[in-house]
Structure 1
């Protein structure tokens, strides 16, 4: 395996290059935009098992995990600014096998998140156009935003920043409109897994809700995959990450509390459009505010959908460039300088997932809930490997240039690592069937990894990992 790792540093540097055009504000827009759809839907499924109060405790724990993780992960991102993100860090720390595990987990996270968001886009449009089939609308969203990502990263990032700002504005509007009906008693009623008082059963619900609390922040690490396209990644990425996580924590708390206090929260706990439905409690179904929320709410979903397409395409591109996936997926468009084949490949998988009800809707969960859970499995495994990579590189490569060092080391990365392990164990317990499917994906990928060693040996060297 060592010889294989060394072979990746032999030969000419690859010409599969990306344009360096992204500034700090654009990276902040990507960081928040990647995640902000999590404020619009997905999290409310956690209320079904944990209740509102139980879910608050789960969400605070997950917010602490993400905050410590991002401060630690930023050290890796600025030390190794690579389009592969976690794949590159793990390969640097643990060799090709570590690179495979991190890359495969990240790929599952970023390829399975977009179909869940696309289905939510379809649900929002269905509110306005009842005759429009949500799945067809979801497929249309894929076609539009794949095309936008292919046209160019500068255009894509500018669009991402605009829709992210509009999405934040819309969430503030939502909180303002429902605030006259704010009743804390609405939020606390049945807040412990459907009961008014805490019991041992409340713990069960709180742990079961972990995937949906993670959905509040899932994919913020995707900024790492834009590192090769940043003008000054060692300065701009830390600013984008820190500002991004603080923005998201404030919005997550605000949206959750105001939605739950607006009326009967149990009616919001198993749907893809909780914010419009929460607003109905206050302004009624035919209010102009209601229709404005639906249209503006699309900005949040579009921001994440569009941003995650950027993320999965760079991950596929980096894995293909290094020989972990077929080489033709690493081709960059001759005019737009974007990984167009990687963008299309991830889209094909996502559209297939949207129309795979019988395959993905199992274990008593909805299609969206299972897709969300699958994406979260990939994320958690990647978080664990990334924190292990950080500890390993501190020991094995102490002289590496580290423009940003994790604060309170080793406590921050250790907390993030332990929290991620707890999340993984809990998710396996509560989502065993999805865990089996995830394990099968990793196992099939590992067989391919073993059979294609020659492909990695023949891959061009990676200048960013030679240092």
Structure 2
């Protein structure tokens, strides 16, 4: 193992915890913004479409992850398939996805704590969360992954408890009332709302692919990663559909459509604000947010690390601490996230809350990365037919083709409904590409191996 190679310490259970933990905050908050544009029924349709896309994507993406187990994940696959330009697009898109998601999650952590401590400024809590979990990530991947597994299991259990507690108050008539973008009947505005809600349906599953960035630290990645990914996507689909349906049927779902703590508020409608169940949801619900926040910090740090190691970013970001973790990369993403949190209330993006804007920006990065990853899969099947593939995408080329087509549909819809954030995303990609080219001209790149 070289000085710039990460140590393999993670087994299947740790990787499952990372795959689910990266995402599970999406079941606790963020998705309910989709109700505001699509209604409950419209958003359910959108979510089912996105669930199909993610299921096809993960079964296809796993082939790349096991064939090229590299901390760069999508960056490494696209670099190998399409060279420097492809690698740069994938790497920068992944960075945007993983750097802009944590501020949204941190603000939700602040919102949950504010329920218990009304005098606590959510921004202060959010920044505090960055310091705590950056420190934990720096202390070592084994410690970080074990913590991730524990909080993920608690978060999954709490979602099951939530569904069980609110079930007696569930009414199907509540769920369907005004379910098509505020109307009781399907119409053209309902279709428009369904496409506008795509970013928030993606939030249910966003970042599951981040487990690929731990592939270099996985024991026997050709066996452990497929198991973790398949179990992870099945876990998330079941939880996403269950939470959304139960939350939408306990009262007036409109009251939950533009807030950062929909589950506590949904439970309050059933058991009241002083119930022990309510307090338990708030406290244990924090584990779901913490699991994703903590896991995505691990993900963005590995992407910074891989880009720096390959010569696209300053080599200092590829330095490892005495705990064998990329501490400078962890801190770099944290600085960006804290600046984003401090901008809350200062910058207005199309009337969106900071959380909704950060979610949308993160989703732009994810969708671009999904598209180039699927293109990389098709390209490597042709250009490197003899590449060792211990896991092959089932139903090739149909399954990855479905993932690719649906990802393109999602991207077109997002551009149409989010022109300003799309423009900012393109600017960030352009500035990032210019910076990478400048740095790359000064550093000797390191080849990506599988």
TM bucket normalised to smaller: over 0.9
1:14 shift after superposition? 5.3
TM-score (norm 1): 0.95
Pair 1:258-2:246 in alignment: yes
Within 2, Cα distance between the matches of 1:152 and 1:112?
23
1:433-462, CA deviations, whole angstroms, 9 ceiling, x for partnerless residues? Answer: 000000000111121233233234x13x34
Within 1, Cα distance between the matches of 2:53 and 2:163?
26
Within 1, Cα distance between the matches of 2:94 and 2:140?
23
What residue ranges of structure 1 are gaps of 5+ in the alignment?
A: 1-12
SS across alignment from 1:398: coil
Aligned residue number for residue 82 of structure 1: 70
- Is the contact made by 1:17 and 1:332 (CA closer than 8 Å) also made in structure 2? no
Pair 1:193-2:196 in alignment: no
Pick aligned residue for 1:239 from 221, 224, 227: 227
Pick aligned residue for 1:403 from 363, 385, 390: 390
SS across alignment from 1:192: coil
1:24 shift after superposition? 0.3
Pair 1:324-2:312 in alignment: yes
Within 1, Cα distance between the matches of 2:356 and 2:442?
36
Aligned residue number for residue 410 of structure 2: 423
SS across alignment from 2:24: helix
Comparing 202-211 and 13-22, the one that deviates more: 13-22
Within 2, Cα distance between the matches of 1:450 and 1:312?
20
TM-score (norm 2): 0.99
Within 1, Cα distance between the matches of 2:299 and 2:207?
9
1:205-258, CA deviations, whole angstroms, 9 ceiling, x for partnerless residues? Answer: 000000000000000000000000001100000000000000000000100000
Aligned residue number for residue 39 of structure 1: 27
SS across alignment from 1:357: coil
1:341-372, CA deviations, whole angstroms, 9 ceiling, x for partnerless residues? Answer: 00011000001001113564310111110000
- Is the contact made by 1:36 and 1:304 (CA closer than 8 Å) also made in structure 2? yes
Within 1, Cα distance between the matches of 2:146 and 2:278?
28
Pair 1:270-2:255 in alignment: no
SS across alignment from 1:235: helix
Q: What's the RMSD between the two structures over aligned residues?
A: 1.0
Aligned residue number for residue 338 of structure 1: 325
SS across alignment from 2:119: coil
1:80-103, CA deviations, whole angstroms, 9 ceiling, x for partnerless residues? Answer: 000000000000000011100000
1:15 shift after superposition? 2.3
Aligned residue number for residue 192 of structure 2: 204
Aligned residue number for residue 378 of structure 2: 391
Aligned residue number for residue 103 of structure 2: 115
Pair 1:173-2:196 in alignment: no
- Is the contact made by 2:28 and 2:261 (CA closer than 8 Å) also made in structure 1? yes
Within 2, Cα distance between the matches of 1:84 and 1:72?
17
Pick aligned residue for 1:156 from 126, 138, 144: 144
Aligned residue number for residue 226 of structure 1: 214
Aligned residue number for residue 136 of structure 1: 124
- Is the contact made by 1:353 and 1:360 (CA closer than 8 Å) also made in structure 2? no
SS across alignment from 2:120: coil
Moved runs in structure 1, 4+ residues, more than 4 A? none
Aligned residue number for residue 9 of structure 1: none
Pick aligned residue for 2:3 from 12, 15, 24: 15
Within 2, Cα distance between the matches of 1:343 and 1:280?
37
